[in-house]
Amino acid sequence: MTLIDRLYRRIADAGHVCLGLDTDISYLPDQLKKDNACDALFHFNREIIDATLDTAAVYKVQIAYYESLGLRGLNAYMKTLGYLREKNAIVIADVKRGDIAKTAEMYAKAHFTGDFEADFITLNPFMGMDTLEPFFPYLDAGEKGLFALVATSNPGACDIEGIIASDGESVSDKTGAMIKEKGVRFTGDCGYSLIGAVVGCTNKVQTKQIRSRLDGVFFLIPGYGAQGGKAEDMAGYLDKNANGGVVNSSRGILLAYKKPEYSGLGFAEAARAETVRMRDEILSAVKGKEV
């Protein structure tokens, strides 16, 4: 069973939540701030992981939050990735690398092996499809995967992704088509490829036909919650089996303990409660809309 088959089955069991461990020091409750900042960061992540293992399909760890703290921050990043793998959780390293030739090869080695090893990594393909190719040898065994940016959730996404070519297709459309073509050779039994796409649920570039155009491409869907995306916004991105994508939430879960509805709960308990609420909201939206 390939990694994408594992993720597909995990969604069927646990729902669509991708829990983003994009953890800023300011998110930590006061009682943890008494510790060394980077030790506290890992402690916070570990408690949330333990509380949500049965309710999150996958975890996404954004490296920038850890890089900003220097070597000690990267140690917390390494420990977080290692703990997730120890718990047999599926982990996406959100690194958005995008370069060519030997440099891309070194990025692949850095994030698919060693201290920073993850299952999936995010890539920026806008320098060209050759930026993806150095990662392919790691996909051949079926145990690693990629999510390439196609239609992102940021307000300025249309600046480049929305540019329309002479044939009437946008940069986003063309990127998605090339990602799909590159991914065919890495298709698992579930019908999806180990090369997926980042498709934001707040972005207006993509058309209503994005799922049919990118059949066989698994979606990482950011923009839910703090960025304004709703469960119904992403329901149409899933396939007829209500699978084929995970929905990321970071701040909405990490800071759930500050919400009035979770008053009296610890940060990990509140994160679990918010993950369950999000999971159920998405499942309800999916059931209520033909996909």
What is the set of active-site residues? 96
Smallest Cα–Cα separation from 245: which of 254, 257, 236? 236
Output the CA angle 144-145-147, nearest 5 degrees.
Answer: 155
Contact criterion met (CB below 8 Å) for 221 and 237: yes
Return phi, psi of residue 154, to 5°. -80, 155
* 106 half-sphere exposure, CB direction, 13 A CA radius: 5
Region of 95 please: left (phi>0), alpha (psi -120 to 50) or beta. alpha
Region of 142 please: left (phi>0), alpha (psi -120 to 50) or beta. left
If residue 10 lies in a helix (H) or strand (E), which one and from where to where?
helix 3-14
Residue with the two structure tokens 């718990």: 87
